[in-house]
Structure 1
Amino acid sequence: MNCLDPESNYALFLEIARLHYLKTHRSFQKRDVYPGQPPLLFALYKNDGQSQAELARSLKMKAPTVTIMLKRMEKAGVVKRVQDETDQRVVRVYLTEYGRKLCKSIYKEIQCIEERMFSRLSNEEKNILNRLFKRIRDNLKESIEANKR
């Protein structure tokens, strides 16, 4: 089976990724959340008050990208940025009360999507799929690391 065959693993993986994106994008859009924002929300929910630089590092994003996202989220009342009291060069980011509620709502929605995605799989099949996903991820990581050298 070659990768151009619509039933190939590669083509099916791309289709699944596209369908997942559409489903999450529509769901997030109803809440005025953009696709890249949930990881940032979850990072703050787990560890509120991170600096913009810390967020960029932990999310593996460029600092200007995080700044643009935060401006949009601050305007929507999801986060607030506060200058650090001890180091005026550092800006800390905090979820607002609305941001915390939004984060919980998005988390529940993601759980529903995940439940739907895997609803017809047995526990054994889910475990096998998880191992296969990890192997695929590791293969890609190794390939990327090898290309850096």
Structure 2
Amino acid sequence: MSHDDSLTRLMRHVLKLHRHSVDLMIQKYDVFPGQPPLLMRLSERDGQSQKELADSMLIKPPTLTVMINRMEKTGLVERKPDPDDQRVSRVYLTGKGRQAAAGVREALQVLEAKCFEHFSPEEKMLFRRLLWQVRDDLETFQRHFKDE
């Protein structure tokens, strides 16, 4: 099999197309690439600490800080000190951020429907199971390297 035919290359290409499509659909909300996961996490549970957000997004705290700073400038989020521990900063969606999160959620639903419009319910179920298996295999693989 040539490099052009590899499953990994195809998967990477599909993921890039998906992310680019999301980015195109949400740019009207002042949401930039990489920011949708933060919006979704805050829409599910507003007021998380920066550490909680970085851990759940699997990114380093300095990366999250840059993202939050940018989102504060566009009016999507705001930071407030934790009432019980002033050393902890909590991140909250603004009204504009809640609207953007709703727009992102809708864009993701539209895109998911488009991506799988030619799949039968059984094919979607099989594809989900196969992706879970790839995820589990990669997590096991990474744990192996962390344990060494």
Q: Given the two structures, how large is their TM-score scaled by the length of structure 1?
A: 0.91
How far apart are the structure 1 equivalents of 2:8 and 2:64? 31
> Which has the bigger relative contact order, CA under 8 A and spacing at least 6?
2
Q: 4+ residue stretches of structure 1 with deviation over 6 A?
A: none
User: Are the structure 2 counterparts of residues 11 and 86 from structure 1 closer, same or farther at C-alpha, using a change threshold of 3 Å?
Assistant: closer
Q: Deviation of residue 115 (structure 1)?
A: 0.4
User: Are the structure 2 counterparts of residues 95 and 16 from structure 1 closer, same or farther at C-alpha, using a change threshold of 3 Å?
Assistant: same
The equivalent of 1:27 in structure 2 is: 25
User: Are the structure 2 counterparts of residues 121 and 110 from structure 1 closer, same or farther at C-alpha, using a change threshold of 3 Å?
Assistant: same
1:90 paired to 2:77: no
Amino acid at match of 2:87: R
1:15 paired to 2:9: no
Mean Cα deviation higher: 72-81 or 29-38: 29-38
Mean Cα deviation higher: 14-23 or 132-141: 14-23
Q: Given the two structures, how large is their TM-score scaled by the length of structure 2?
A: 0.92
Could you tell me whether the CA contact under 8 Å between 1:28 and 1:35 is conserved in 2?
A: no
Could you tell me whether the CA contact under 8 Å between 1:77 and 1:99 is conserved in 2?
A: yes
User: Are the structure 2 counterparts of residues 88 and 132 from structure 1 closer, same or farther at C-alpha, using a change threshold of 3 Å?
Assistant: same
Select 1:134's aligned residue among 132, 135, 147: 132
Q: Deviation of residue 25 (structure 1)?
A: 2.1
Could you tell me whether the CA contact under 8 Å between 1:79 and 1:93 is conserved in 2?
A: yes
Query: Which SS does the other structure have where 1:94 is aligned?
Result: strand
How far apart are the structure 2 equivalents of 1:117 and 1:63? 33
1:58 paired to 2:56: yes
RMSD: 1.4
User: Are the structure 2 counterparts of residues 5 and 65 from structure 1 closer, same or farther at C-alpha, using a change threshold of 3 Å?
Assistant: closer
Mean Cα deviation higher: 37-46 or 123-132: 37-46
Q: Deviation of residue 3 (structure 1)?
A: 4.9
Could you tell me whether the CA contact under 8 Å between 2:78 and 2:92 is conserved in 1?
A: yes
Query: Which SS does the other structure have where 2:29 is aligned?
Result: coil
Q: Deviation of residue 15 (structure 1)?
A: 2.1
Could you tell me whether the CA contact under 8 Å between 2:76 and 2:93 is conserved in 1?
A: yes
Select 2:68's aligned residue among 67, 70, 76: 70
Could you tell me whether the CA contact under 8 Å between 1:3 and 1:9 is conserved in 2?
A: no
How far apart are the structure 2 equivalents of 1:21 and 1:34? 11
Could you tell me whether the CA contact under 8 Å between 1:3 and 1:10 is conserved in 2?
A: no
Query: Which SS does the other structure have where 2:3 is aligned?
Result: coil
Unaligned runs of 5+ in 2: none
Select 2:110's aligned residue among 109, 112, 117: 112
